[in-house]
Structures are given as C-alpha cells and as structure tokens.
C-alpha cells in the first residue's frame, strides 16, 4: 500500500520532496547536471533523478567520503560513467530552456545562485573535508604517506574532467566564445597536479635522491609518447573536423534535395495532369519558380517560410504580386528599388497597388506580363503598375463602378497620397501611386 501510494504521488506531483527512493519514473534517464553544478554535476543530477533536494545528496556524498573515501570513489564512478545532461532530467535540451522544464526541488533554488560562487565554496569545502579526512584516516603508516599524492592526483583529474564536460556543454549552447586562456590554464593546472601527485608517489617509493632521475625518465617517456602518438592525434583531429564538415554539408544538401524534390516533383505532377490547361500550367510553373528563387537567393531566416506578415515595402510588393499572380494566372514582373518599413500610408498604398495589379491582371493580362515597379526615394514611395492590355479610360467607366475610384484613387487620397491612371501610348494602362512616408519610421 505505501509503495503504491508513493508511486501515485510521484507521477502526480513530481515536486514532492517526500518522494521515496523507489521506482524512478521510467522515461527518465540519469544525467549529470550541466548547470548549477559544483563539481561534476553528479549530486545535482542524482537529486533531479530521484526527486530529492540536492543538498541531501551532497551531504550523503560528504558523509560517505568520511567512510574511508567511499564517497569520493562513488562520485568519481558516477562522474566517469554517467553522461553529462541537462538539469539532471532531460536529454540534450539547451540549458536556457531547462529552468522552466525541470521541476526537481533542488533545481530552482540553485539556478538563482551564481554558479561560480558555488564552485568556490565547493572547492574550499572540499579542501577542508579532505584535510579532516586525511587527519582522521587511520591507515597503515606506509599507506598514509601516499595519501597526499593521491589527493593531488584526484584534484588534477577532477579539474581536467570538468574541462571536458565544459567543452561538451559549450557545444550544445554553441558557446564557442569560451575564454581560451582559462581553458588552457585549467588543463595545464590539472596536468601539473596529476604529475605532482604521481611523482610524489614515486619519490615516496624510492627516496628524494632519485627525484631527478625519475623526473628525467618521466619526461623522456612523455616526449617519446608525444613523438609517437602526436602525428596520429593531429591526423585524427583533422579527420574528425573534416568529417564533421562533410556531414554538415551533406545535411544541407539533403535539406535542399528534400525541398526541391517535394515541391518540384509535386508541381511537375500537377503540370502533367493539367497539360491541356495552359493558364493553369503557367500559374503552377510561375509559383514554383518564385518559390525556388525565394529559397535559393534569400538568406537564412528572411521569410523563407512566407508565414509572417511582411514588415517592409519590398516584401509586401512581392507578396502581393505573388498572390495576384497565383489567383489570376497572369505573370507579374516585380522590380523594387530600395526598401523601407511599412507604415499606415504605405500600407494603404500597398492595398491600392494590389487593387491595381488585380485590375491589370484581369483586364490587361493578354498583352503580356504585368510590370510592377516600386521605388523608395528619400521620403517618397512610388509604385507603378503597368499592363499591355487594350487600355482603359476612366471617364468612360460608369460612375457606379467604384473599384478604381474608391479602392485606388480614393484610398490613396484619403491617406495623403496621389494616384494617376493613364493610357500608355502604345497600348496598355499604367497606374502610378505616390505616397510620402510617415515622419517617424
């Protein structure tokens, strides 16, 4: 019964600090926590995993440490085998999202704390604990002598491992801007500590008199290993980065291929089906062309998805033209010079221009493509829409036909602009729209 009840509590309210140690939730995987950690993130990860306050876990580790260093061994084992994760719960999510995601008790409390301060406190604590431990420990006289070297080695290893963790974490958050000197300092510090510890062990084994020759021998071995393994290591790193580059390229190519595959093949199928309907075929081909151009020539993240409302003139003109083109099956060629943000007046001008495009497509589309030209010159925005149709005389249009008068001329004038319609000498109509930009943009 208590077990059953406990399970319900866990799945119902994960925050319950009283949640027993039994039955971790199945989808959860144990990760070391990458943020708010003091050392390796083991305690924090475990706390998140078990639903315990992190301080409890830390105390348990310290307690175990006193038991002949068992805690340290355990900690090291966790550090070694458990992969670094986020918040001790989730998978490879960017840490910025995590604070809202995880609900383990210890988390939130520690997120607010500056991690660096915590680390200093942790280091000081560790030194104190280690000293107490060393003082208390009751080993054989011989063994006790090795203790300091072992502690040194441990500290060095911890330093280097943390560095490795940081490097991995930097990759997730793409924080390539990590200070290089610090990284180097840490690595060198770790290596020095380990070297000092190992040398200490050797010195203790022999005597101080042999220190020189031992150091020499160690140095010789190190140099030898570097000489032997160096080229391989360099080659391997190069190969790895090259491989990564290739993979990124392949991914990009696959993305392009997928896009082209889907949209182009889809369009081609539609064209085959509608082969006898010339205007539909033309419409499909134009739409596809436009899509492909947007996709190829627009840089990343500038309206490739066509989802959001345009905020600038050039976008708005192109969008309007594309929509009219799709609807009426008449090609519209757009030339835009300059760009500016949309304001109220320009917005109205865009609507008027759209109306003009619709008219041109409807009544002048047989003569060829409709030409749309938009230009921003200083504070003035000029749009011209021209077709090569049979032409059109405003005076001959009955007074009750409000389309042109209201939605183009009227709209422009209400917003402080002007609209002119005129017949082009060799056939066709041109609508010219002038508008001043608002004072504040």
Partner 1 sequence: MSDPTEGNAESVEPTGGAGERHVRVVLVDDHRMFRTGVQAEIGQTEQTGVEVVGEAADVDQAVTVITATRPEVVLLDVHLPGGGGVEVLRRCAPLMGDAERPVRFLALSVSDAAEDVIGVIRGGARGYVTKTITGSDLINSIFRVQEGDAVFSPRLAGFVLDAFASTDAPPVDEDLDRLTQREREVLRLIARGYAYKEIAKQLFISVKTVESHVSAVLRKLQLSNRHELTRWATARRLV
Please report, as ranges, the residues that interact with partner 1 according to CB under 8 A: 293, 296-297, 299, 314, 331, 333, 335-339, 369, 371, 373, 375, 377, 384, 386, 424-426, 430
Give the strand pairing for 332-337 and 370-377: parallel
Closest CB to partner 1 among residues 125, 296: 296
Contact 85, 32 (CB under 8 A): yes
Please give the structure tokens belonging to residue 383.
């749009």
Tokens of 136: 């208390």
Whichever of 122 and 292 has its CB closer to partner 1, that residue is 292
Please give the distance of CA 126 from its chain centroid, rounded to a whole number: 36
Task: Name the E strands within 112-207.
Answer: none
Let me know: does 274 contact 280? Beta carbons within 8 Å: yes
Instruction: In angstroms, give the least distance from the CB of 330 to partner 1.
Output: 14
Say how far apart CA 147 and CA 136 lie, in whole Å: 12
The residue among 360 and 404 lying less far from partner 1, judged by its C-beta, is 360
Please state the closest distance from residue 309 (CB atom) to partner 1, in A: 18
Least distance from C-beta 115 to partner 1, angstroms? Answer: 36
Strand partners, 386: 371, 430
The least distance separating partner 1 from the CB of residue 314, rounded to whole angstroms, comes to 8
Cβ distance to partner 1 smaller for residue 224 or 338: 338
Q: Which is nearer to partner 1, 64 or 369 (CB)?
A: 369
Mention every residue, 6+ apart, whose C-beta is less than 8 A from residue 438.
Answer: 343, 344, 345, 346
Shortest distance, CB of residue 426 to partner 1, whole angstroms?
Answer: 6
Which residue number, 46 or 360, has a Cβ lying nearer to partner 1? 360
The minimum distance between CB 272 and partner 1, in angstroms, equals 17
> Which residues fall within 8 angstroms of residue 114, CB to CB, at 6 or more apart?
none
Whole-angstrom distance, CA of residue 371 vs CA of residue 350: 15
* Choice between 81 and 297, CB closer to partner 1: 297
Residues 6+ apart with CB under 8 A from 106: 44, 47, 48, 52, 53, 54, 55, 57
In the complex, minimum distance from the CB of residue 366 to partner 1, in angstroms, rounded to a whole number: 14
Nearer to partner 1, 105 or 325 (CB): 325
Q: Which helix (H) or strand (E) holds 13?
A: none
Q: How far is the CB of 197 from partner 1 (least distance, A)?
A: 54
Asked if 111 and 48 count as a contact pair (C-beta separation under 8 A), the reply is no
Q: Cα–Cα distance between 361 and 325 in angstroms, integer?
A: 8
């Amino acid at each position: 019964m208590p077990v059953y009840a406990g399970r319900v509590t866990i799945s119902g309210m994960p925050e319950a600090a009283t949640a027993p140690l039994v039955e971790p939730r199945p989808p959860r995987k144990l990760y070391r926590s990458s943020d708010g950690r003091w050392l390796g993130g083991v305690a924090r990860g475990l706390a998140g995993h078990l639903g315990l306050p992190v301080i409890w876990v830390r105390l348990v580790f310290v307690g175990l440490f006193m038991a002949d260093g068992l805690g340290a061994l355990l900690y090291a084992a966790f550090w070694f085998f458990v992969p670094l994760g986020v918040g001790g719960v989730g998978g490879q999510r960017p840490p910025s999202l995590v604070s809202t995601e995880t609900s383990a008790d210890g988390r939130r409390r520690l997120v607010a704390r500056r991690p660096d301060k915590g680390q200093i406190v942790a280091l000081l604590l560790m030194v104190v604990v280690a000293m107490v431990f060393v003082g208390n420990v009751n080993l054989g006289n011989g063994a006790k002598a090795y203790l300091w070297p072992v502690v040194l080695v441990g500290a060095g290893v911890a330093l280097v491992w943390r560095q490795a963790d940081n490097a991995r974490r930097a990759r997730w958050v793409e924080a390539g801007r990590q200070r290089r000197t610090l990284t180097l300092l840490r690595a060198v510090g770790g290596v020095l500590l380990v070297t000092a510890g190992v040398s200490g062990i050797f010195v203790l084994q022999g005597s101080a008199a042999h220190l020189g020759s031992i150091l020499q021998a160690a140095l010789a071995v190190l140099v030898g290993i570097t000489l032997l393994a160096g080229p391989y290591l360099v080659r391997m790193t190069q190969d790895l980065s090259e491989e990564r580059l290739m993979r990124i390229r392949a991914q990009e190519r696959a993305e392009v291929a997928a896009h082209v595959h889907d949209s182009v093949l889809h369009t081609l199928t539609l064209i085959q089906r509608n082969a006898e309907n010339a205007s539909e075929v033309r419409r499909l081909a134009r739409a596809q062309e436009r899509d492909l151009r947007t996709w190829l020539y627009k840089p990343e993240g500038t309206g490739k998805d066509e989802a959001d409302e345009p905020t600038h003139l050039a976008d708005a003109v192109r969008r309007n033209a594309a929509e009219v083109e799709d609807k009426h099956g008449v090609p519209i060629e757009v030339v835009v010079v300059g760009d500016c943000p949309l304001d109220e007046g320009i917005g109205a001008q865009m609507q008027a221009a759209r109306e003009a495009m619709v008219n041109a497509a409807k009544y002048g589309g047989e003569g060829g493509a409709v030409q749309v030209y938009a230009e921003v010159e200083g504070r003035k925005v000029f749009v011209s829409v021209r077709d090569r149709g049979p032409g059109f005389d405003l005076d001959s249009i009955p007074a009750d036909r409000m389309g042109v008068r209201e939605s183009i001329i009227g709209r422009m004038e209400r917003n402080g602009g002007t609209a002119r319609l005129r017949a082009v000498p060799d056939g066709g109509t041109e609508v010219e729209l002038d508008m001043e930009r608002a004072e504040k943009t």
